Structure 1
Amino acid sequence: MTDTLLHHLDEGAPTAPPLLLGPSLGTSTALWDGVAPELATSHRVIRWDLPGHGGSSPGLIGPGATVDDLARLVLALADALGIERFAYAGVSIGGAVGLHLAVHHPERLTSLAVICSSAHFGDGARWRERAASVRGEGLAPLVETADSRWFTPGFSVPALLEDHRTADPGAYAACCDALAAFDIRDRLPEVAVPTLLIAGREDPATPPEHLREIADAVPGAQLTELPGASHLAPAERPAAVRAALRGHLTGDPASGMAVRRAVLGDAHVDRAQSRTTGFTARFQDFISRYAWGEVWTDTTLSRRERSMITLTALVAHGHLDELAMHVRAARRNGLAPEEIGAVLLQSAVYCGVPAANSAFAVAQRVLAEEDGPGGADS
């Protein structure tokens, strides 16, 4: 990577709809670790670092910088990656970049999500004072108070604190200059792309009223407030941010991923997502959109009924690894152990005794793990 482009991570299928994710001041692409991998099953996700943060060169920005300067760097990155139009989501200063793009370069955006951010970050003098302090004393004093500014009491992400500690002071100060000069309030009615605002209810830096101000001014904007979240909501409440973004990006809040998690459990889906590669990303997207987003969400059959059908089909084809997963799903969907046994007995008649024998062995093991040796706790 050359020093002329922002450092970035590119995840998901190259042919999937592009989504750019912008960071908060003092953080890096790691801010999105709990969110980006899942979004990459349906989108080409590009996370970028601010100048002097993470892997981006500090020389990309200088004193007196503006949000326009940062937006131009983002557009240069998109151009270098061959991306003409993209969805965008950003936190704090990353959200400010998104608002600037929506007003000044609307032809480049397909949608916008502004997270824990503002159309005006308060008294510019306060930001200029912070910039001067960082240029003179470095970032150590700010790192000491980062947890209280970023998270609710008792929560912390050491990797993000390390990002803050190792950021380039000059580039950080230049970003403070950009925040000091930023005020796009009078242009908000011009935002014409579908817009989502996400606020952390306990955010001291950009309180919910900042996001409400944007929501009230942007035509058709939607606002989501997250309880138990402070300024870095993607790190503190990643599941809630994932769900909000997926609903915004797909237009379907009850997305297939939500159903997949409800039936199979977060642990299983997280393992599957962590193993996703560029080669398998489209298949994971297919599963989430078609199997879980269209078939399992059809209300013609209940989830209990779908579990019984799925168990039978897996027995018939001898897919025992999948059977174990769906025995757990059947319990989650409300089937008692004796009902699962009845399904397997029915399968013995129509699919064959050897297949059912293997299925009973798998089911007995799973039920013992789930419910104890007796497997009878429904």
Structure 2
Amino acid sequence: MPLENFRNGSLNVRQWGEGAPLLLVHGLGTSSDLWMHQLRPFASRYRVVAVDLPGFGRTQRLPGRGDGGDGLSTIVDDLAELCSRLRGPVHYLGTSMGGFFGLALALAHSGLLRSLVLCNTAARNVISPEIVATRLAALRTSTMDELGEMVTRQALGPLADPFLHEWFRELIARNSPAFYRHYLSVILNDFDVTDRLGEIALPALVLTGEHDRVISPAHGAELARRLSAGALHELAGTGHIACAEQPEAFNRAVLDFLAGVDSVDAGQPTETRS
């Protein structure tokens, strides 16, 4: 399908299902293809919208608007414009870097959102300097296939299905080295909204991976604790790509949370699950 035009440039936006809008925002180096295990179950209840952020998937441009705005703020502008078009309020689900943008969006445009689901993420860029350094070095000296192999080893947990290794390596290998480097070294470098988390009143679910070596579950726990209405759920046995490593558990946690939010909106009691 054709890309959609936004003020800052075009974006690839994909949609399935009907109902209240649920926006899925991927992490660094992936695309809307990340959500292959979520689309069918989520679209049975919601209007699911998955975007390729600038520089990823079919959105082959760097974020920027030519007026000196930094990349992060223009991405948030893009997401705000998309949410406005969806005539929400929107349930927002973001993983890793997508969680960073969700927090920034909630702080800048809270009226566009109904809830936040923040997966394998944190309130600040806590990706270790060692991981950043090894990836930047690989971008200088290795092929994207080799980078994909390294990132896959860092990201997936020890119990991940071997099939996922090849699939995820291919997702990373498709990236433009220049775009990937720009995000890693510029856009994400100084992200930190820790001191403003108390301003976010939206109901929020923070999902962490038991074996996440990129953003540890302790950072997710800190995020949930600092949010005004944050809940924490750890997904056993998963690494940094929980949505693909344990999709059934991931989907159940997300849908149960969203059902609770929706029931409050409808004035119905929330079902308690054991």
Residue from 165, 181, 201 that aligns with 2:190: 181
2:72 alignment partner AA = V
Instruction: State whether structure 2 residue 24 is matched by structure 1 residue 21.
Output: yes
Which ranges of structure 2 fall in alignment gaps of 5 or more residues? 264-270
State the 1:188 CA deviation.
0.7
Instruction: State whether structure 2 residue 89 is matched by structure 1 residue 85.
Output: yes
Alpha-carbon distance in 2 for matches of 1:128, 1:234: 23
Alpha-carbon distance in 2 for matches of 1:52, 1:184: 23
Q: Say which structure, 1 or 2, has more relative contact order (CA 8 Å, 6+ apart).
A: 2
Q: Does the 8 A contact of 1:78 with 1:84 survive in 2?
A: yes
Larger radius of gyration: 1
In structure 1, the residue matched to 2:101 is: 97
Alpha-carbon distance in 1 for matches of 2:223, 2:103: 10
In structure 1, the residue matched to 2:161 is: 155
Which ranges of structure 1 fall in alignment gaps of 5 or more residues? 256-296, 298-378
Q: Tell me the number of residue pairs that the alignment of Structure 1 and Structure 2 aligns.
A: 252
Deviation by residue 1:197-229 (Cα, 9 ceiling, x = unmatched)? 000010001111011111111112110001110
Alpha carbons of structure 1 residues 64 and 191: separation in structure 2 relative to 1, 3 Å: same
2:102 alignment partner AA = G
1:162 alignment partner AA = E
Alpha-carbon distance in 1 for matches of 2:33, 2:107: 28
SS of the residue corresponding to residue 180 of structure 1 reads: coil
Percent of paired sites with the same residue: 29
**Counterparts of 1:93-132 in structure 2 under 5 Å?**
93-122=97-126, 129=133
Higher percent of residues as strand: 2
1:55 alignment partner AA = R
State the 1:150 CA deviation.
1.7
Residue from 6, 9, 25 that aligns with 2:14: 9
Q: Does the 8 A contact of 1:191 with 1:218 survive in 2?
A: yes
In structure 2, the residue matched to 1:145 is: 150
Alpha-carbon distance in 2 for matches of 1:131, 1:58: 21
Deviation by residue 1:69-96 (Cα, 9 ceiling, x = unmatched)? 32222223334x4434211011000011
- The alignment yields a C-alpha RMSD, in angstroms, of 2.8
SS of the residue corresponding to residue 5 of structure 1 reads: strand
Deviation by residue 1:314-370 (Cα, 9 ceiling, x = unmatched)? xxxxxxxxxxxxxxxxxxxxxxxxxxxxxxxxxxxxxxxxxxxxxxxxxxxxxxxxx
In structure 1, the residue matched to 2:268 is: none
TM-score (norm. length: structure 1):
0.61
Q: Does the 8 A contact of 1:49 with 1:55 survive in 2?
A: yes
Alpha-carbon distance in 2 for matches of 1:252, 1:132: 40
Higher percent of residues as helix: 1
